[in-house]
Each structure stands twice: as C-alpha cells, then as structure tokens.
Amino acid sequence: MNREMLLEIKKVTKQFPGTKALDNVQLSVERGEVHALCGENGAGKSTLMNIIGGLYPPTDGELFFEGKKIAPKNPGEAQKIGIGFVHQELSLCPHLTVAENIYIGRLPHKGDMIDFPKLWENADEVLSRFGANFSSKTKVSDLTVSEQQLVEIAKSVSLDCKLLILDEPTSSLTDKETRKLFEVVRSLKQENISILFISHRMPEIFAICDRVSVFKDGRYVCTMNVPEINADDIIRAMVGRELGNLYPPKSSCIDKTTELLKVENLSGKIFKDVSFELYKGEILGFAGLVGAGRSEIMTALCGIDKKTSGTVWVNGKAQSFKNYRDAVDQGVCYLTEDRKKQGLYLDMSIKSNMASANLKAVSKGIWLQEKLEKRLADEYVKRLSIKVAGIEYPISSLSGGNQQKCLLGKWLSIKPKIIIVDEPTRGIDVGAKLEIHNLLRTLADEGVGVIMISSELPEVMGVSDRVIVVHEGHLSGEISEDDMMTEENIMRLASGEAV
C-alpha cells in the first residue's frame, strides 16, 4: 500500500563555513505518520530540521510539500505552508497567558481592541483537543515544562499545521509527562497530522514511531519500518559499526571494608534523613524520578547548597564543608546535570573552562601560568580523547559529548577522591556515552569513588554495581543483587512502593 507523501526532501546539501553539515540527503514523510530521526550529535538532524522549518535555506537540493516545491525563507513562511516546529528550548512569553501565547501575532480583535472572550474561547477549544487540564487564562510561568510544551504544540496546531517537528521533546520531561505527550502525539496522528520526532531515547521511538530515518556524519543512512526492527538495528545504523557490549563490565573488586564516603541522616530543603555508604571500587547509582531530590542530596553533600543537618565522612574522617571550595579541596566534586546553565562558560576557551575549578594548579603564587594552563588542558584532551580543533577555541564550538568530556576533565584535574556525576550522558550520542561509561568504570577500578545519578533506567542498571532509589526526598530502597536489578523493581521503589 502506497500512502500519500506529505514531505519529500531530495538531494539536500547544506554547506557552512568550514563544514558540510548535510551532504546530498533525502527524507520522505507520509501523511499521518510519526517519523523518527536518529543520529549521533553532529549527524545533521538539527540542520535538516532547521531547513524544513525555514530557519535557513539549503545550499543545494529541493523540498516538496504536498507535491509542490517549497522554499520557506523564514519560520513564518514555513508555518503558512503547514509546517510547525517545537524547539527543544521553548520560546514562550512567560508573563502572558496561554491564550495570548497561542495566538501571538494574530489575536482576534474587534476594531482596535483585543476580543478577549473570543480569544479564550478559541484557545480553550484548541487545548481541549489534547485534554489539557489547565485553562487558557493561566499564565505560562505557572505551568510545568510539559504543559508549556503543550502550549507550543497547540500554537502550531492552531495554525493548521500538517507537519509538526518535535525536537527532543522529552529531554526535560518526567516519565509520566512523557506518556502524556505520547497521547497527544497519537491524537495528532488521528487528525492525520504527520510528526517528525527527534529523540536519543530508543524506547520512545519504539513506543510511538512508525518509521525511523537514520543520519550519520551529515549523510542519510536508511529508513526502516519500526515494527520490523529492534534497537540494535538503529544503533548499528547510527554508529556504522557493531557495538559490542553496550555497557562496561561490572566491578569484580568491591572492597566492602573501605568506606570512601559515608553519609548519615543528611537533611535539606526537600530531602530528609538520607544515609548511605560508598565503597572502594564500586559505582553507586542513584535512581528516581526527576524532582525526587537526587541532585539536591548531592549538592548539599558537597556544600554547594545548604544542608540542615547530617554528617558526612570522607575516607573515615568526619567533614563539615562550609562551602563547595572546602569539598573540592578534600577531593569531593559534583558534575552538574545542567551542562549549559551550570557547567559551561560558553564564550570562554576550552582551556579556561577546564582550569576553572583548579586555578591553583595552573598558577605560581597568585599569577596564572599560561604554560601550565595549556599543559593541563592538553593532558585531559588527550586522556579523554576529546575532539578539539584547538584548546584556544570557545567551548561552544564543541559537540555535547565533547563538552561533557571537557567537564569531566575539569574535575579529574583536581585528582578527585569522590566524583559525583549527575545525568552524565544526557543529550549526548551513543559513542561518547560509551566512552564516558568506560571512563567511570576505570576511575572506580583505580579507587576513586563514583556516584552516578541517572534518569535513564538502562544506564543506571548497566553501569552501577549498586543502585539506591530516591522517592520524594527519602531513600526508598537499595538494589545490589544483579537479578533484582530490573526496570520494574526500580520503578516500583521510585514511585514509593516496596519491591
């Protein structure tokens, strides 16, 4: 059965100064299908989306929409044709109401005045199509991220879009919110709207997508029917080679007699009475829902945020960190989950970023030594095989995976005794993910204490030797036996039930 093609892309090439982001690629989207786009970072997915969404024109090649050739010059034109684009970073006016955001730039009016009754009515009607449980009079800033995303989708749908591009829509959603988003996607599909869905998460692709197209290094690899394949097929196409084990082997040398870290009755703003130990040689995983308090436990432990009570022992010595500097001087560090906001100095050089936690090591007295700074950056660029054009370039020029490796290098340079990594592989590609997992394992083997927070259950189970689950600010359980480590058991603990 041959279905009608909504969007066809033929031989599109995009040349940026210095790089060819897309090389002669093709893609076709059927009417009413959910089509996934996969590929490592830098594979060209975003460039292609931006071309379809009218953010910039292709250097070469043609786009057809409903059989007609199109060349949208800006997002407004793309919208008129029927292409909606929901970006990963939402772009709403937070101080205005939902309705005003949906109808921004085309508010219904009577004469010169805004026709508010009609505005509310129209907006509520659009929202009701997705079963939204908030009114169109709500201020956007009062909504959760997933609700704001719904507003963005409603905005596109109210413009009668026929193709909706969702760029990593689930990256900041909880599992429950993700399920809700999927319902919305399914109802859009019912209305014969096509969805282009970008995601790094395999289970999501298998949950809602009909077909998947894979890109690699700016080239189109293949398109597959999702029901006929499994995750390995996609990964193989993405990396272009067979992946051996997805995760490094577990530890064989956990020394239960050496406590690198011990935490007793730690309490803070949103968590209470947290106690646990970290043994030499192991990777300790922290699982739980987003917002359960995992990151907050760790930032309080390191003195980044205030704790209200509790004691922390490092290598058997009680420590009271007055601030984060104290903790870092004792070799305890925390790698943030929010790379862009809390991790990187985007406009500064790679070497300045890597030295930022450790200026003493690159100084003599109070004077910075450029030579030492370069040596430090070079050392970790080499050791972590970070792909850089030069350590003088701004860190914003690197891909997500390489930025994350720079941050790891920054913390390794303090010679940590305990390193806490929070969502260490969020939004980075499969290859870099594997390297980071291997690195964490090497560190643990060398005797560095490793704690990893992750919302990706396969990652938590694959990498950790032991998993502690957090539920609404307290520890709801611990899983150390391999056969008990199942997604089901972790999810039960994470939602507050017993195993």
Partner 1 sequence: MSVKNGKTTGRNLVKKFFAQRETSVLIIILIAVAIVQIIQPKFLNVSNLKSIALSVSTDGLLSIGLCLALILGGIELSVGGVAAMTCVLTGYLCLAGVNVWAACLVSVLAGVAVGLFNGLMISKVGLPPFIVTLGMMNLSRGVAYILTKGSPLSLSGYLPDSFRFLATGEVLGIPMLFIIFVVIAVVAHIFLMKSNVCRNIFYVGSNEDAAKHSAINVDRVKIGVYVTVSVLATLSGILSLGRFNVATPELSVGAETTAISAAVIGGTSFTGGVGSISGTFLGIVLLKVVNSALVMLNVSVYWQDFVQGAILVLAVTMDYVTHKDKSNGGIICALLNKVRK
Q: Which residues bind partner 1 (CB under 8 A)?
A: 17, 304, 323-325, 327-328, 333-334, 336, 338, 341-348, 352, 356-357, 359-360, 362-363, 366-368, 410
* Closer Cβ to partner 1, 320 or 345, answer by number: 345
CB of 335 to partner 1, least distance (A): 9
Pairing of β 194-198 and β 34-38: parallel
Is 369 buried (19+), middle (13-18) or exposed (0-12) by CB count in 10 A? middle
Detail the DSSP E strand segments found in 268-331. Answer: 274-280, 283-288, 309-314, 317-319
CB of 324 to partner 1, least distance (A): 4
Q: 170 or 330, CB closer to partner 1?
A: 330
Kindly give the residue spans of alpha helices, DSSP state H, lying in 53-174: 75-81, 98-102, 116-128, 145-158
Whichever of 246 and 414 has its CB closer to partner 1, that residue is: 414
3-state secondary structure of 88: coil
Query: Cα 228 from chain centroid?
Result: 27
Please, what is the minimum distance in Å from the beta carbon of residue 303 to partner 1? Answer: 9
Residue 450 amino acid letter? V
Nearer to partner 1, 197 or 334 (CB): 334
Query: Smallest gap, in angstroms, from Cβ of residue 368 to partner 1?
Result: 5
Give whichever of 68 and 341 is closer to partner 1, judged by the CB atom: 341
Distance CA 206, CA 184 (A): 16
User: Which tokens is 129 given?
Assistant: 């199509």
Tell me how far, at minimum, the Cβ of 417 lies from partner 1, in Å.
15
Backbone angles phi, psi at 132, to 5 degrees: -70, 140
Least separation in angstroms between residue 330's CB and partner 1 is: 11
User: What single string gives the DSSP state of each residue in 434-450?
Assistant: HHHHHHHHHHHHTT-EE
Q: CA-to-CA distance for 157 and 132, rounded, in angstroms?
A: 14
Task: Please say which residue, 45 or 339, places its beta carbon nearer to partner 1.
Answer: 339
DSSP structure class, residue 3: P
Least separation in angstroms between residue 218's CB and partner 1 is 20
- Toward partner 1, which CB reaches closer, 65 or 380? 380
For the CB of residue 295, give the shortest distance to partner 1 in the complex, in Å.
11
d(CA 463, CA 6): 42
To the nearest whole angstrom, how small is the minimum distance from the Cβ of residue 400 to partner 1? 16
Amino acid at 129: R
Q: What is the dihedral angle through the alpha carbons of 285, 480, 280, 315, rounded to the nearest 10 degrees?
A: 80
Name the residue nearer to partner 1 (CB basis): 64 or 324. Answer: 324
Distance in Å, CB of 402 to partner 1, minimum: 17
Residue 342 CB, nearest distance to partner 1 (Å)?
4
DSSP secondary structure letters along 193-258: -EEEEE-S-HHHHHHH-SEEEEEETTEEEEEEEGGG--HHHHHHHHHSS----SSPPPPS--EEEE
Q: Which is nearer to partner 1, 46 or 336 (CB)?
A: 336
Q: Which is nearer to partner 1, 65 or 334 (CB)?
A: 334
Closer CB to partner 1, 17 or 105, in the complex: 17
Distance CA 20, CA 59 (A): 10
- The token pair that represents 152 in the structure block: 């963005």
SS3 363: strand
Give the whole-angstrom CA distance, residue 99 versus residue 123. 5
